[in-house]
Amino acid sequence: MSTLETPAQAEGERLDGVLMAIIANRFNAVVREMTSTLLRAGRSAVLTIARDFSCSIVTSEDELLAATEGIPVHVFGAHLQSAQLNRVYAGDIHDGDAFLDNDPYTGNTHHADHTILVPVFHEGEHVFTAVAKAHMADLGNSQPTQYMPFAKDIYEEGALNFPCIRIQQERQDVAEIIRMCRRRIRVPDQWYGDYLATLGAARTGERRIKEILDKYGVPLIRQFVGEWFDYSERMAADSIKTVPAGEYVRHGQHDRFGPYDPIKIKSVIKVDPKAERIEVDLTENPDCVEAGLNLSEATTTACALTGVLHNLDPAIPKNSGAFRRIKVKLRENCVTGIPQHPRSCSVATTNVADRLVNITGAAFEQAGEEWGIAEGGLGMNIGYGVISGVDFRTDEPYVNQLCIGNNGGPATFENDGWLTYTLPVVSGHMYRDSVEIDEQKYPVEFHSTKLVVDSGGAGRTRGGAGIEIIVGARGKPMRIIWSGDCHETRPKGVHDGLEGGGPRTAIREADGTERELEPLGEHVVEPGTFIIGRECGGGGFGDPVDREPERVLADVREKWISPEAAREIYRVALAYDEESGRTVLDEEGTRQLRAEE
């Protein structure tokens, strides 16, 4: 029986649509396999359970090709890192090399994200770079946390900085770099295991990309890349064409923290549907602050793109081709721009970054009633705190970021907010920790994890709910460091939707008394005491009185909203039916309540 050959591609002819889809999906499948490798081979809970990492493939011309399943804030800048690799090592990049980069001044997100870049060769030619970026449980900061909001500069952060350095040659570790890391990174075995998993992901990508190049040959794949970018650009242009023309401006601010004033930012969006282009201008924002909350070039760009993409066709492939149509204007020494060494970008992936995603996505509200999305819940409160100490069960030290919180997602024109949203920069792409795995790996004891009633911003569509975590330490004291937000300014709604529920951070002493703690801070949790962290709900979309009474009833039955809020905010009257033991709708009462408006 005959084996079918791939249809020959005549010179100068365009690829047929099916072959283009197959190759594009093959690259996406490679990224998924890289992702699965990192998740399953990693060691710390932040990687293996919460999946705080992203994989992507970049061309040798430094264009982002594939980033499926990636966390938006991680991957939309991977091409900057590949460009830095090509600059630093021009003429000195070889098959078998691997590079480690975590430098936020030349394309990385922030120090905590250790990025492994593996150049992929075919017959001596560097064709692609496989990129795996993982948020490490520790990186040698001066404090046991990956986030240093109060660090004035890179020196106070203390993180080891790797400005794109070679970490493998001929597929063998450069031993001195590993030794440096083992000396300066807490719980070195955990770091080395996570490094191996990250490397394994990139090497898996390399292995699979080589198979693709062997099968199709470099000329056809290069042709594919060009046409795929053109197609992606066309998709983006077609979608932008449907957005009403205008200049949309929205303001936002990060809460005051410690001695610092609130950081006020705005996003200025110019939509030109005729030219099929969108520009996001961030140059009018303040200069870099002497604190760790500055964004890096990669995260600023990624956050602006994320906000815009929430308003465009989800089918647009997220790559450099599509991004040709969305220009993000930046300036140097700007809190949402290009930071200058030694300003700290320790917290560049969250907090102000989350605010930037929110205001950019919500600004489109000004384009018309179906446009824009509400602001999503944010803040790296206790549920995302970094815990450290000594495990009384083994006498070994531990450090890890919890990812068991939950900020609710923003309501959209079509739907209630996605519940397990995490943060605007993540938009639901991360996983959540398992209570059991956290308790097995670290000496923590969860008292409860419960969604908070009425925390989703009210609206015709409702924001996702926030969660409340109550967690204690076992055996020995545990240090926890967190970087919250939204105590002052909550996630707002759009089109008359209401804001999401706010956060809370407190300690419950052994005698049961509770005491509020700083929104960004640290605490040593003694055994027998519990720390309480409540995270935000997302904002609502549209007027709550326009929500169908049946959906309000379902929300009350399922404990998303209280009967009181149903009455006061949604103007829906409910009753209790003895026979079925259920809450039921009082239609007449609802008509009256809604007529009172």
Partner 1 sequence: MTNGDQTSFLHVTTDVGGTFTDVVVADGAGQMTIGKSPTRVNAGEGVLAALGNAADQLGQTVEDLLGRTQLFTYSTTRSTNAILERTTAKTALLTTEGFPDILVLREGGREDAFDSATPYPEPFIPRELTREIPERINSEGEVVRAMDEDALVATLRQLAKLEVEAVAVCFLWSVMNDVHELRAGELIEEVMPGVAWTLSHRLNPVAREYRRASATAIDASLKPLMGQHFKEVEDRLRGAGLSGEFMVATSRGGVLHAAEVSERPIDTVKSGPSMAPVAGITFAGAEGIDRDLIVCDTGGTSFDVSLIRDARVSFTRETWLGRPFTGHLTGTTSVDIRSIGAGGGSIAWIDPGGLLRVGPQSAGAEPGPACYQRGGTKPTITDAAVALGWIDPDTFLGGRMQLDAEAARTAIRTLSDDLGRPVESTAEAILSVGNEHMVRAIHDITVKEGVDPRESIVVAGGGAAGLNVVSIVRELGGSDALVPRAGGALSAVGAQFSDVVREFAVSSFLDTGHFDIDTANAALERLDAAAAEFGAGLRSRGIESYEIERFVDARYKHQVWDLEMQLPFERFKGEEEIEALRETFDATHLRVFAVTEPDARIECLTWKARVSASVGNSDGVGGSASTNGAKGMPTPRMRKTYMNAAFRDTAVYDGSQLPPGAKIEGPAIIEEPTSTLVVPLGAKATLTNGNSYYLEV
Residues 391-410 that bind partner 1 (CB under 8 A): 393, 406, 409
Q: How far is the CB of 287 from partner 1 (least distance, A)?
A: 31
Cis bond upstream, residue 342 (ω within 30):
yes
Q: How far is the CB of 50 from partner 1 (least distance, A)?
A: 8
How does strand 504-508 pair with strand 478-483?
unpaired
- Window 256 to 295, contacts with partner 1 (CB under 8 A): none
Residues 6+ apart with CB under 8 A from 113: 74, 102, 133, 134, 135, 136, 349
**Residue 417 — φ and ψ, nearest 5°?**
-60, 140
Please name the amino acid found at residue 510.
Answer: A
Q: Does 547 bind partner 1 (CB under 8 A)?
A: no
- Window 349 to 378, contacts with partner 1 (CB under 8 A): 373
Residue 348, SS3 per DSSP: coil
Bin 69: left if φ > 0, else alpha if -120 < ψ < 50, else beta: left
Please, which residue, 305 or 480, has the CB nearer to partner 1? Answer: 305
Residues 6+ apart with CB under 8 A from 315: 235
Among 12, 91, 512, 581, which residue interacts with partner 1 (rule: CB under 8 A)? 581
Q: Tell me how long the chain is.
A: 597
Handedness of CA 292, 293, 299, 301 (dihedral sign): negative
Q: Which of the stretches 21-29, 86-94, 335-343, 506-514 binds partner 1 when contact is defined by CB under 8 A?
A: 21-29
Q: How far is the CB of 15 from partner 1 (least distance, A)?
A: 13
* Residue 170, token pair as written in the block: 């001929």
Q: How many CB atoms lie within 10 A of CB 496?
A: 15
- Window 415 to 454, contacts with partner 1 (CB under 8 A): 415-420, 422, 426-432, 434-437, 439-441, 445-451
The Cα 564–Cα 567 span in angstroms is 5
Burial class of residue 251, CB neighbours in 10 A (0-12, 13-18, 19+): exposed
Among 200, 317, 466, 491, which residue interacts with partner 1 (rule: CB under 8 A)? 200
Q: How far is the CB of 127 from partner 1 (least distance, A)?
A: 17
Q: Which of the stretches 78-86, 200-208, 218-226, 530-538 binds partner 1 when contact is defined by CB under 8 A?
A: 200-208
Among 15, 55, 59, 72, which residue interacts with partner 1 (rule: CB under 8 A)? 72
Q: How far is the CB of 124 from partner 1 (least distance, A)?
A: 22
The Cα 293–Cα 275 span in angstroms is 35
Bin 427: left if φ > 0, else alpha if -120 < ψ < 50, else beta: left
Please, which residue, 193 or 226, has the CB nearer to partner 1? Answer: 193
Q: Does 87 bind partner 1 (CB under 8 A)?
A: no
Please, which residue, 29 or 180, has the CB nearer to partner 1? Answer: 29
- Window 29 to 48, contacts with partner 1 (CB under 8 A): 29-30, 37, 39-45, 48
What's the order of all strands across the beta sheet hosting 504-508? Answer: 444-451, 467-473, 530-534, 504-508, 514-516
Please name the amino acid found at residue 268.
Answer: V
Q: How many residues bind partner 1 (CB under 8 A)?
A: 90
- Window 475 to 504, contacts with partner 1 (CB under 8 A): none
Q: How far is the CB of 205 from partner 1 (least distance, A)?
A: 9
Q: How far is the CB of 295 from partner 1 (least distance, A)?
A: 19
Q: Which of the stretches 24-32, 289-297, 381-389, 504-512 binds partner 1 when contact is defined by CB under 8 A?
A: 24-32
Please, which residue, 352 or 426, has the CB nearer to partner 1? Answer: 426
* Residue 496, token pair as written in the block: 């008359």
Q: How far is the CB of 193 from partner 1 (least distance, A)?
A: 5
Residue 251, SS3 per DSSP: strand
Please, which residue, 18 or 90, has the CB nearer to partner 1? Answer: 18
- Window 557 to 576, contacts with partner 1 (CB under 8 A): 557-559
**Residue 204 — φ and ψ, nearest 5°?**
-65, -45
Q: How far is the CB of 583 from partner 1 (least distance, A)?
A: 9
Q: How far is the CB of 579 from partner 1 (least distance, A)?
A: 11
Please name the amino acid found at residue 492.
Answer: K
